[in-house]
Each structure stands twice: as structure tokens, then as C-alpha cells.
Structure 1
Amino acid sequence: MKKNRLSALILCTLATGSLLSLQAHAAQQLNVWEDIKKSAGIKDAIAAFEKQYDVKVNVQEMPYAQQLEKLRLDGPAGIGPDVLVIPNDQLGGAVVQGLLAPLNLEGMATEQYTPASINAFKMDNALYGVPKAVETLVLIYNKERVDKPFATLQEWYDFSKQQRAKNQYGLLAKFDQIYYSWGAIEPMGGYLFGKNDKGGYNTADIGLNKPGAVDAVTYLKKFYADDIFPAGILGDNGLNAIDSLFTEKKAAAVINGPWAFQPYEAAGVNYGVAPLPTLPDGKPMSSFLGVKGYVVSTWSQDKALAQKFIAFINQPQYVKTRYIATREIPPLTAMIDDPVIKNDEKASAVAVQAARASAMPGIPEMGEVWGPANAALELSLTGKQAPKAALDGAEKQVQMQIEAMQASNQ
């Protein structure tokens, strides 16, 4: 009987030990959600990480803009990722809802990134992600119409005026939307939100109607008032009209993003790409920066290992490999001058412009800006209202909508 009990005890101990061993082994796994058709870019980095840390990394692809929504369900259920990819404009809502874990700044080498890209993943001085790739507006021109892109916006205006005499168009841009006109508004002194004492945004301080913003809109207005732009590019269908005029080779240049490269190429346009031109005061046009970044789920069982993974795969040698595989522009300052990007006209233009751009605020209140700002721009640029009056009205409308939104969330 004693032998049976002893045997049972030994078996129980062995079983418990095996279970603990399995649990320990299971803990040394990381689940990573990567963007669609982008996991090939981190394959080499993952293999090196697994070898160095004796860990298994499981990768699943899904559209990056939908990952947070899936995390809301999968995270609490225990089947979510440790690391995922999100766009920076979703950061604010995710932090407020407690979906993401803050990162420990030690060992993150944040100085290797362009300031705008790393700041895109900060909230109230806390870092929640590391930038993976950036995209922003650039100038795309038809090489059959323009030998070399003009350096200044004024030169583009003068050239465009000459083209109108030939019933052609020079430069076209969707300046009646703040996403496109921001390139002039910000450098000339406008801003979306002021800063609070924590380094975050002060949503009570809106800068849409500051003197610099009024000056910028007044300057852009002449593209419409002087018949440089056709009326058809106004409103919701304006982008389609711009694309059509460029692909039909009736416009010499457009301000658009990297997402237009493939359609323009498919349309047979021999195009070049350059950073945005400079403004009358000599400052280069800015733009909104879209940033994809790696973040850590608040439900991760090993946040320290997840952070090590993010830091590891964003070492320069792996970032370069990722760029070659995916062609997504990395926001590492060292990569801007790397021959693999510098010698690629498209990539170089995006990289240079991205360094001049500012990240779109990733706070929920930003959603209340688009409608009033776009309405004010259309009123101003078409001459239906003076720029100052239209922007004053937009600022009041944004304030009212933000106050209503914040009140409903209390």
C-alpha cells in the first residue's frame, strides 16, 4: 500500500512538474499581429530574436487599421496579441480605453527616429509605441510636362498660370481640405491644438484662426480666384477629378500621397516625385504625417519581452531589410541618407518630406476638427466668406463640438 502511495505521489509530482514545465515553455511565446502582406519584412529579425531569447514568435497578418478593434475582444479573452500594429491617429482612444501598455523608455533608442514619428506615439509624456513606417503628401509631377520640379509654390503658381493660357493645368491640390492645406497653414503659424503642461494637447486651445492661418488661407485662395484650379476639384469628388486630370495628362503636377504611385504608374504616366515646395517666406511646406507603429497590448502576459521584441526588430539592419521587402518608408533618421532610399526618387521624396511633417494628433477630439475646418476652407477659397470670418466660425464650431463630446463622455 505504501509503495502504491509512493508511486502515486511520484507520478503526481512528475505530472505537476511536467505541467509547470509546459506552462513555463508556453510563457516564452509571443503573439504578434502584423499588417497584411508585411510579415516578410520582419522574418529575418524574428529568426534572430527567437534564437537570442529562446522564444517562439507567432505571427498573424491582418489589416493594421482593424487590429485595435479586434484587440478589444481578443485581449480580454486571452487570445489576443502581445504586439500589434496601429496607425497613430488611433492612439489616443486606445490609451484612454486602457488597451495599450506604456513602454519603458530604457533601451528604446528613441533618438534614432525622426522627432515627429516618435512623438506620434506619445501621450502626456508617456511612450506607447515605436514607429514602423511613415507616409505623407509629396509633389508628383509628369516628367513629359516638367523637366525638373519647381522649388517654390510661387513658381508653381506662375507656371500654372501660363498653362491655363494653353487650356492645360499646372499644379493641382485639394487645398479646400485641411489635410492638404495644412502644408501651408502650419509653417505660417496656424496650429490644431496648443500644448498642456504634461506635453500633451490642450483641446481648449485651438489655433485654426490665428493670424498665420489666415495669411496661409489668403495665399492659397489665389489658386482659385485666378482660375489656376478648376471648379471641379472642389468638394467630395475633388480627389477623383484631380487624379483624372493627372492621368489624362491634362495636369502637370499634383500634391498627393504614396498611395497614388501605383495607379499613376498603371495609367502610363511617366512621373517623378519630390518633397513639397517652399512657401513665400522660404519655409518648406509641411504636411500631416501618418505613422504606423508597434505597440504592446495591455493584456500581454510578458510585456517586458514584448518590448524587447519591438526594440530588437527596429535595429537599423533589420529596418533596412524590412524596407527592401515592403517598400514602406521607415522613420529612422539614418535611413534617409542610406543609398537604398536616397537613390530611389520616390522613397527619398517621402522620407525627406516625412522629416518635415507633423504627426496628426492621435486624440479623439481631432475627429471634431475635420468637418468645420473643411467647410471654412471651401467658403474661404471660393470667395463666399472672408478667410478670417470663415476660420473664426470654424474655431467656434470645433470648440462647441469638443465640449459636447467631452460632456457626453463624462
Structure 2
Amino acid sequence: MNLTSLPDWLSSISSAAALLFAAIAAVAARNVYKIESARDQANAALRAKQDALERRDQAALVSAWWGYSPDGGQQSQPGWGVFVRNASETPVYNAGFSVLDVRDPNVSERFDMVVIPPAAEPVFHPSPLSASKPADFRVEVTFTDSRGQRWIRDKQGRLHELGPAVVVWGDESRINALRRFFSDFLASHGVEIHARTGDIEDLRRALLDADDATAAPDIVVGPHDWIGGLVEQQLIEPLTLSPQHRAAFDALSLEAMTYHGELYGIPYAFDAPVLLRNTDLVAEAPSSFEDMLHKGEAVRRTGTTELPFVMQVPSPYYTYAVLLAAGGAVFGRRADGGLDTGKLEILSTATRVALDRFRDLGQAGHQHLPPRIGREEAIDLFVSGRTPFLIGTSRVLLAAQKARLNLAVDPVPSFDGVDPVRPMVSVHGFFLTRCGHNKVIARDLIVDHLTRTEVSTALHEVWPHVPARRDALERGRDIDPAIGAFYEAFRAGDPMPSIPQMGDVWQSLRSAVIKLVDGAEAGPVARQLSKQLEDLLNGKHNRGTR
């Protein structure tokens, strides 16, 4: 052993020992930190649970129910009504009571109390509602406790905290039309509406891609073909209507909102592509698609108009109606006549001919279709009299009314020798999301409030459309013949499939339409589209799921 190296050797041992002790200390500190963090998290969770229980202490002692009073309370005569009790030691405030007939949302009563004082016994409030079947009435109450927290005890007697706002997503035109009806109901419960508007497909993708539950809406307004994808991602909840309540809606609208036997949306409007005609420019309905083009070209040659007809391009919802008119189809049919989403018809002879006909309307043919034209531009061309025909939906009715346009509604005509068009029917409605923060009041809003006849009728006056509720539909048909014509077109159509892949089916069709309008040959477009749809329907394509 070299004694001269001993100090260096001892120094190395000391350094190694110091590093070892430092590492041991770091591990110990990390373990202590983990233990303390876990304890802090457990304590925080316990405190949150205790706070929640303390918040509920008073609210749990406030209740209301429907019942029979032998002495009738202040009326001093027997009768049915609402019993109210605050069994806590302090008052609650700004209470609102809704008495609801579970069979029919049109039968209801509402009253308010500024203060519900503490009381040993319940106080009876007589009701003017019929008591012939008292078991069919339920009472819902909202109130503010002594801490300022808002609560709701629902129709089943369950207690829930109320958030300050119900968050609703939908396209701008529908939200603007619905806002008043949302606000009237929510204000009576001490809740605000927060709305996010945008293109409906952008909103659908935002909902599918949302990772942060705090950003999720309570209600989404959209078409029924979203349902499959939203259910697959567990983003919406099923809803319940009584048999009498269901009978108030057109059966087709409920069928469209049903997926795997569950009702996932409350319908409020139908829509489908039809042929809208300016009767000042063309007096008679065309007998065929070729006749429509002939009549449109005849008017254009006079210098009166710019286009023989117009539609939104490249929206697949509208252009698919023309594909059908030309004899083509995306899906085959089942034995019962319904659409068979497992059978593709893109490469069939009839669809290949239809795609050629469609291409001939674009830039490589007669140039009837501009390459890109949005919804508002298409509507403006029609209502301003620059084209006699518009393939569109009931969205045009409000603009046509404002322009005092003489309007006729006809089915989209078929090409000569092709069967009548069976358009894709869209049913728009309200979906309740699973991750919303105010689901209880949101459910009441769409199930009980927005389905009332008076609301459906008033909504139709604000924004003309084809209502899904039968009585509102009949009233709309009496006021405006166009509503009846739209409805007849819908009855002759097929509900859009609501399979999970439907959004991507439309996107693939949109890409194909763009290529055809721009002049691409129909054969390669058909083969590519068929391959894309086959992959989609066989699960070989990522549908943008979370």
C-alpha cells in the first residue's frame, strides 16, 4: 500500500460517503414529501366533503310536495296543493315553486315566495290545478340558503346545488332564436344562460375533442345524426318522456332522436333539402331537374337573373339531394325500404352515372354551380331575385318573409327517368351532456319548458321552421302553406343515419363534391370515395375520438 496516496484514498471514501448520505437523505425527503402530500390531499378532500355536507345541512331541511289537505289551509276547505316546509333554524330566500304534470308539460303552475321562514309544520298552498289525478303532479323548488348558495329540489325530491349559469352550444341563428326562451325560464330559477355559438360541425368536433370537463356545455343544440358519435364517446345522456308527452311529438322526430332504443334528444324542428321557387320569376313547378335548368336558363337569358339555380356548395347535405335526383346514392336499402348503412352504392352503375351528371353541372360542364358558395350567399342570391330556384331548407323562410318574396316549396325534382327524390331528413333538437355542471336545471329546461305548446308556437313566430310538436306544426301549417309543403317533403324522405361515423361520411362526401365541381373525372372520385367510406364503416379510420 502506498502511504503517500492514503490521504487521497481517505478523501475519496469521505466524498463517496457524503454522496451516499446525500442520496439517502434525498430519498427520505422525497418519501416524506410524498407522505405529506398524500396527507394534504386527503385532508383537502375531507375538508371539501365536510364543506359540501355543511352546505347541504340547511338545504336538506327544505322541501315541498304535492298533497291533499283536509282543512285546505287558508281556504279552510279540503283540497289539493303544495306543502312547503323549512325545518331548519334560519330562513331561506327567493324560492320558486313549479307544479308539473308528469304527463303533459302544458299543465303547470308556478308561484314564488320571497322568504320561507323556519316552521315546525309544513304550510299548505292551495293549487288551481285539477286534482282528478293528483299522483301525476310533482313539485320542484329552487331557493337560496342563508349562505347565499342556490339549490334545487327536483321532481323526484332529490337535492342538487345550482350553478350560476347553464352553458349552451349551438349555431348562431338557432341560439339567437332560442335565447329568449332559455332566459325566461332560467331567470325564474335564478340562473343565467352562457351561450357559445359557431358552425355546428366545429361545435361537434369541439365537443368530441374536449378534454377539460370544465369547458363542456350543459346543452347542445344540433341535428340528430350527431347522436351515434356522441353516445359512443359517452358525451350525452338519455332522456325520458311519458307516453302522453311522447304522443305530443311527430313520431318521425322521436324516431330520429332514438339510438339503440334510448331517446337521446328532445326534438323541436324538422329540416330537409327542398326546391324553393320564386313564383314571380317561374310560375309553375318544374317537371324534372332538366326542366328546372331549362326554366332557369330561360329567365337568365332575359337578363333578369344571374344563375339558373343555386345551392350551398360544397355542403354535402344539399349536394347529396342532387346526387339522389340524378339517380345515385351513398347507401343501399334494407328489405323494409330503410337505409342500409352497411351497404355502399358508390360504385354502382346508377351512382357512377349520377356523379357524371353532377360533374356536368360544375366547371367542366355547363358551369351552373359556382365552385364555392356559402349558405348566406346562396340565400341572398335567391331572396334578392338573382336566381329563380334555391335548393335549400326552412332556414330561408325568415329571409323570404323579410324580403316579401312570393315563394313556393316543391320537392327536389329528379332527372328524367329517375325515381322521386327521398331527401335526407334532419331533426334538430336539444342534447343533455354528461359532463355539464348544471344538468338538473338544464334537463328541466329542455324536457319540461321548451316542449310546451306556447313555447313551440312562440319560437316558430320568432324563427319560422317546421315544428316537431304536433299542435305547433298544425298551427304553423294553418298560418303558412310553405310549412305544410316542407312537412310533406320530409315525410317522403329518410332520417339521416345517426351512426358514429356519419360526421366523417359527410366530410368524405364534401371532398368528393369539391373535386367534381372543380372538374375531376367521376370514376377516380367514385373509387376514392368508396374506399374512404368502406374504411370508415369498417372501423379502419380514426374518427377524431378523444
One-letter amino acid matched to 1:393: Q
Does residue 236 in structure 1 map to residue 375 in structure 2? no
**Could you say which residue in structure 1 is the equivalent of 2:310?**
172
Structural mapping, 1:190-209, within 5 Å: 190-192=329-331, 205-209=343-347
User: Does structure 2 retain, via aligned residues, the 8 Å contact 1:103–1:307?
Assistant: no
- SS of equivalent residue, structure 1 residue 394: helix
CA apart distance, 1:142: 3.0
Does residue 107 in structure 1 map to residue 243 in structure 2? yes
**Could you say which residue in structure 1 is the equivalent of 2:98?**
none
Distance 1:307 1:118 in 2: 18
**Could you say which residue in structure 2 is the equivalent of 1:213?**
351
- SS of equivalent residue, structure 1 residue 236: coil
Distance 1:74 1:60 in 2: 22
CA apart distance, 1:396: 0.8
Distance 1:79 1:161 in 2: 49
With over 3 angstroms needed to count, the CA separation of the structure-2 counterparts of 1:151 and 1:200, relative to structure 1, is closer
With over 3 angstroms needed to count, the CA separation of the structure-2 counterparts of 1:213 and 1:241, relative to structure 1, is same
User: Does structure 2 retain, via aligned residues, the 8 Å contact 1:163–1:170?
Assistant: yes
Does residue 368 in structure 1 map to residue 504 in structure 2? yes
CA apart distance, 1:115: 5.0
Structural mapping, 1:376-395, within 5 Å: 376-377=512-513, 384-385=520-521, 387=522, 390-395=525-530
Does residue 141 in structure 1 map to residue 281 in structure 2? no
Distance 1:209 1:283 in 2: 19
Distance 2:357 2:192 in 1: 49
**Could you say which residue in structure 2 is the equivalent of 1:21?**
61
With over 3 angstroms needed to count, the CA separation of the structure-2 counterparts of 1:291 and 1:68, relative to structure 1, is farther
With over 3 angstroms needed to count, the CA separation of the structure-2 counterparts of 1:261 and 1:320, relative to structure 1, is closer
CA apart distance, 1:189: 6.1
- CA offsets 1:351-393 (integer angstroms, 9 cap, x no match): 44344444444445233334543444455567642x4553233
One-letter amino acid matched to 1:182: Y
Unaligned runs of 5+ in 1: 1-14
With over 3 angstroms needed to count, the CA separation of the structure-2 counterparts of 1:271 and 1:241, relative to structure 1, is same
Work out the percentage of aligned pairs sharing the same amino acid.
15
Structural mapping, 1:94-133, within 5 Å: 94-104=230-240, 106-107=242-243, 109-110=245-246, 112-133=248-269
- CA offsets 1:240-299 (integer angstroms, 9 cap, x no match): 875675466442222133444566677x68341413333245754343444331233335
Distance 1:239 1:79 in 2: 28
Structure index of larger Rg: 2
- SS of equivalent residue, structure 1 residue 310: helix
The match for 1:38 among 170, 173, 178 is: 178
Distance 1:116 1:368 in 2: 24
Does residue 92 in structure 1 map to residue 228 in structure 2? yes
Q: Which has the higher strand share?
A: 2
Distance 2:357 2:216 in 1: 53
**Could you say which residue in structure 2 is the equivalent of 1:150?**
286
Distance 2:507 2:205 in 1: 25
Does residue 60 in structure 1 map to residue 193 in structure 2? yes
- SS of equivalent residue, structure 2 residue 60: helix
The match for 2:467 among 288, 308, 330 is: 330
User: Does structure 2 retain, via aligned residues, the 8 Å contact 1:151–1:277?
Assistant: no
Distance 1:373 1:88 in 2: 18
**Could you say which residue in structure 2 is the equivalent of 1:291?**
427
- CA offsets 1:185-242 (integer angstroms, 9 cap, x no match): 45746234878xxx9985x643333444335435545545996544xx3423476875
Distance 2:529 2:205 in 1: 31
- SS of equivalent residue, structure 1 residue 255: strand
**Could you say which residue in structure 1 is the equivalent of 2:121?**
none
Distance 1:102 1:245 in 2: 41
With over 3 angstroms needed to count, the CA separation of the structure-2 counterparts of 1:377 and 1:290, relative to structure 1, is same
CA apart distance, 1:130: 1.5
With over 3 angstroms needed to count, the CA separation of the structure-2 counterparts of 1:369 and 1:145, relative to structure 1, is same
CA apart distance, 1:60: 1.6
Does residue 320 in structure 1 map to residue 457 in structure 2? yes
User: Does structure 2 retain, via aligned residues, the 8 Å contact 1:138–1:349?
Assistant: no
User: Does structure 1 retain, via aligned residues, the 8 Å contact 2:223–2:426?
Assistant: yes
TM-score of the two chains, using structure 1 as the length reference: 0.69
With over 3 angstroms needed to count, the CA separation of the structure-2 counterparts of 1:377 and 1:238, relative to structure 1, is same
Unaligned runs of 5+ in 2: 1-54, 64-140, 143-150, 155-161, 169-174
Distance 1:185 1:330 in 2: 27
Distance 1:308 1:271 in 2: 37
With over 3 angstroms needed to count, the CA separation of the structure-2 counterparts of 1:285 and 1:407, relative to structure 1, is closer
User: Does structure 1 retain, via aligned residues, the 8 Å contact 2:285–2:410?
Assistant: no
Distance 1:36 1:249 in 2: 27
Aligned residues: 380
Q: Which has the higher helix share?
A: 1
**Could you say which residue in structure 1 is the equivalent of 2:477?**
341
CA apart distance, 1:181: 2.9
With over 3 angstroms needed to count, the CA separation of the structure-2 counterparts of 1:214 and 1:178, relative to structure 1, is farther
Distance 2:386 2:178 in 1: 35
With over 3 angstroms needed to count, the CA separation of the structure-2 counterparts of 1:212 and 1:105, relative to structure 1, is farther
**Could you say which residue in structure 1 is the equivalent of 2:119?**
none
- SS of equivalent residue, structure 1 residue 251: coil
- CA offsets 1:315-340 (integer angstroms, 9 cap, x no match): 4454223323443431235544x243
With over 3 angstroms needed to count, the CA separation of the structure-2 counterparts of 1:218 and 1:342, relative to structure 1, is farther
